[in-house]
């Protein structure tokens, strides 16, 4: 799910009733392109226990500034309206690395 | 928006235009109604902006090959990643005058381009061969391929799926 604007971020991420994996990306960012299909995979794989959203940095400068996103892609996990400590991660990830990341920061995630 | 160019026409103006507001009287009595008209027309030509970006795309492609060879680094095993970054660098070169790293957010792109830290090759790359754009990868990187060349066709193919 692609979201835009602070209002939608608040609704879909901060007020989500389940953990949210957020992928910040840019149009001409190569590693972002690599990560994108892994986000789609995570969304399918973890079914109802994890929401996955993507945010393009260009039209969302306020969100970027609030959460101090600089390098792209950046992954973050939010739970109960809070950033999960240690989940702010810059750079591309492989599938095994993403799996480990999700298991570490979303321990309640149940693999479908 | 369609590309347009300015063309200069002389002779009888076919229709009123902003440039030809002079009344016939001001042209002198008996003078034929000739007016100098500058009229914008649309033509199916490459815009200057597209030409600049194409030139910069080739510039950054060539630079990437040379720099990879010089530093002993390699392109990503998925060359569409390489292509996308090259396109991003070319766009920044065209718009900012410098190949600002396309894999970062900037509060002020012009200021960052002037500063130079994140102009490719960025300082982390120059000092530690750290390229988070995955354009230049060290041999031990899981994503590194074995190539230091990328053709223009490969770049075009790689970016064609990213629009």
Give the one of A33, A69, A94 whose C-beta lies nearest to B162's C-beta. A33
Identify whether A68 is part of a domain: yes
Report CB contact under 8 Å: A26, B81.
no
What are the two backbone dihedrals, phi and then psi, of residue B139, each rounded to the nearest 5 degrees?
A: -55, -35
- pLDDT tens for residues B22-50? 344 443 444 445 555 554 454 545 567 66
Domain harbouring A16, CATH code? 3.40.30.10
Identify whether A112 is part of a domain: no
User: Domain boundaries in chain B?
Assistant: 50-161
Overall fold of domain B50-161: Ferredoxin Thioredoxin Reductase (3.90.460)
Identify whether A111 is part of a domain: no
* A32 part of the active site: yes
Question: Is a pLDDT exceeding 70 seen at residue B137?
Answer: yes
B105 touches A: beta carbon within 8 Å: yes
Q: What does the pLDDT read at residue A47?
A: 72
Q: What does the pLDDT read at residue B59?
A: 97
In A, minimum Cα distance to B163 occurs at: A27
DSSP three-state, residue A87: coil
Question: Is a pLDDT exceeding 80 seen at residue B76?
Answer: yes
Please tell me the distance in Å from B128's CA to the nearest CA on chain A: 16
Identify whether A17 is part of a domain: yes
Q: What does the pLDDT read at residue B45?
A: 55
* B103 part of the active site: yes
What are the two backbone dihedrals, phi and then psi, of residue A103, each rounded to the nearest 5 degrees?
A: -65, -35
Confidence band, pLDDT 50/70/90 cuts, at residue A107: confident
Query: Which region among B31-35, B66-70, B93-97, B156-160 has the lowest average model confidence (pLDDT)?
Result: B31-35
Partners of residue B107 in chain A, C-beta under 8 Å: 61, 65
A107 touches B: beta carbon within 8 Å: no
Find the domain containing A59 and state its range. 2-105
Domain count, chain A: 1
**Tell me, what's the ipTM?**
0.88
Identify whether A96 is part of a domain: yes
B117 touches A: beta carbon within 8 Å: no
Identify whether A110 is part of a domain: no
- pLDDT tens for residues B107-118? 999 999 999 999
Mean pLDDT across chain B: 80
Identify whether A64 is part of a domain: yes
Q: Are A55 and A24 in contact (CB under 8 A)?
A: yes
């Amino acid at each position: 799910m692609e979201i835009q604007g602070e209002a939608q971020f608040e609704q879909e991420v901060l007020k989500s009733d389940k953990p949210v994996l957020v992928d910040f990306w840019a149009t001409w960012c190569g590693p972002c392109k690599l990560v994108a299909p892994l986000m789609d995979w995570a969304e399918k794989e973890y079914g109802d226990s994890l929401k996955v959203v993507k945010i393009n940095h260009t039209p969302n400068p306020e969100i970027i500034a609030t959460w101090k996103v600089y390098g792209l892609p950046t992954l973050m996990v939010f739970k109960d309206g809070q950033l999960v400590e240690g989940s702010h991660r810059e750079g591309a990830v492989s599938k095994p690395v993403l799996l480990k990341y999700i298991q570490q920061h979303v321990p309640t995630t149940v693999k479908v | 928006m369609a590309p347009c160019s300015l063309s200069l026409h002389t002779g009888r103006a076919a229709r009123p235009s902003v440039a030809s507001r002079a009344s016939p009287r001001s042209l002198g009595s008996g003078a034929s109604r000739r007016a100098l008209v500058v009229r914008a027309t649309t033509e199916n030509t490459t815009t200057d902006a597209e030409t600049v970006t194409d030139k910069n795309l080739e510039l950054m492609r060539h630079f990437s090959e040379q720099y990879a060879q010089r530093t002993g680094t390699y392109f990503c095993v998925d060359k569409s990643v390489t292509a996308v970054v090259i396109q991003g660098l070319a766009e920044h070169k065209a718009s900012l005058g410098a190949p600002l790293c396309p894999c970062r957010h900037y509060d002020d792109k012009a200021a960052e381009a002037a500063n130079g830290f994140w102009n490719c090759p960025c300082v982390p790359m120059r000092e530690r061969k750290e390229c988070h754009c995955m354009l230049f990868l060290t041999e031990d990187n899981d994503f590194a391929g074995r190539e230091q060349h990328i053709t223009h066709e490969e770049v075009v193919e790689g970016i064609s799926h990213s629009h």
